[in-house]
Amino acid sequence: MAKTRFAPDRGLTSRMVFVMFLIGLLAVAFIAALIAFVPAQSLPIVLVLAFGLLFAQFFFSDKIATFAMGAREVQPQDSREAAALHAVVDRLCSLADMPKPRVAIADTPVPNAFATGRNPKNAVICVTTGLLRNNAQLTQEEVEGVLAHELSHVAHRDVMVITIASFLGILAGLVGRMAFWFGLGGDRRDDRDGGVPVQLIIMLVSIVTYAISFLLIRALSRYRELAADRAGALLTGRPMALASALGKITGDMARIPQQDLRAAEPYNAFYFAPAFSKESMMSLLSTHPSTERRIEQLYKINAQLGGPAPEVHGHRH
């Protein structure tokens, strides 16, 4: 990671390292299973396809994400809101001692922001028009808190980490589909398992690997969101501004048309706060910690800094 002034979090870092270690163990076991059961002539095809998908995701994540979300890169001279956005990003990047990412705006009423790109030199930070035009009635300090959170993702190379961690899931999903649709493994039977068809073994191993990988990556994503909240709050020195922004943005979702929320839902993993979230969803499947958990952490940071703990408005339970 490039050296910046974003504060590290040893506790969260140790948990993230442990999750990555578990993903690594799972990857070793899955690849061993591939070598044991996938026909030798098919294995190179599977690996080439998987690495091709990883390559595209790794090197073009910024372009893919901005295109999918309809975001456009802006310069300070383009408009008043673009100039104001650049000014905030300039100030925060100077404060964090990090390269300035490209700046983009996505035309959606959902008040949100996201960052993408494999490293700080190839990053994009994007803010929606719903946030820029103050639909959520955020103050300047609250907007800075949101952008500091996103810049922390850039500084800590979170997109790169999640992309690499996701490779196992990509590989398992690809192998499972090939076994189902193209009969990978053929009609061979494995004598070690009582004559069970190899195709079925490959499918079952792939499904189990994908499911475990999915849960581990979601846990990693939640840890990285908490780490970004903490780093952004400590950078600005105003954790309650970030907590207030989180409450307002989450609460403001209730006033956004359902079709707009559903259109943004596939990109929840990128966003500062999920665009569409159900209380009934299991926390294990979520890309973000609960709003309550995030605000609770920010309250603790505020207390550690010796600041008052004003009431956070805007969040609806």
Any idea which residues carry the catalytic annotation? 150
Amino acid (1-letter code) at residue 270:
F
Give the C-alpha separation, 171 to 185, whole Å: 16
The secondary structure of the chain as a DSSP string is: ----SPPP-HHHHHHHHHHHHHHHHHHHHHHHHHHHHS-TTTHHHHHHHHHHHHHHHHHSHHHHHHHHTTEEE--TTT-HHHHHHHHHHHHHHHHHT-PPPEEEEE--SS--EEEE-SSGGG-EEEEEHHHHTTTT---HHHHHHHHHHHHHHHHTTHHHHHHHHHHHHHHHHHHHHHHHHH-TTTT-EEGGGTTEEHHHHHHHHHHHHHHHHHHHHHHHHHHHHHHHHHHHHHHHT-HHHHHHHHHHHHHHGGGS-HHHHHHHGGGTTTBSS-SS--TTS-GGG-SS--HHHHHHHHHHHHHHTT---PPPPS---
310, with CB counted inside 10 A (0-12, 13-18, 19+), is exposed
Q: Which long-range contacts (CB under 8 A, 24 or more apart) does 302-307 make?
A: 302/233, 302/239, 302/240, 302/243, 305/237, 305/239, 307/239, 307/240
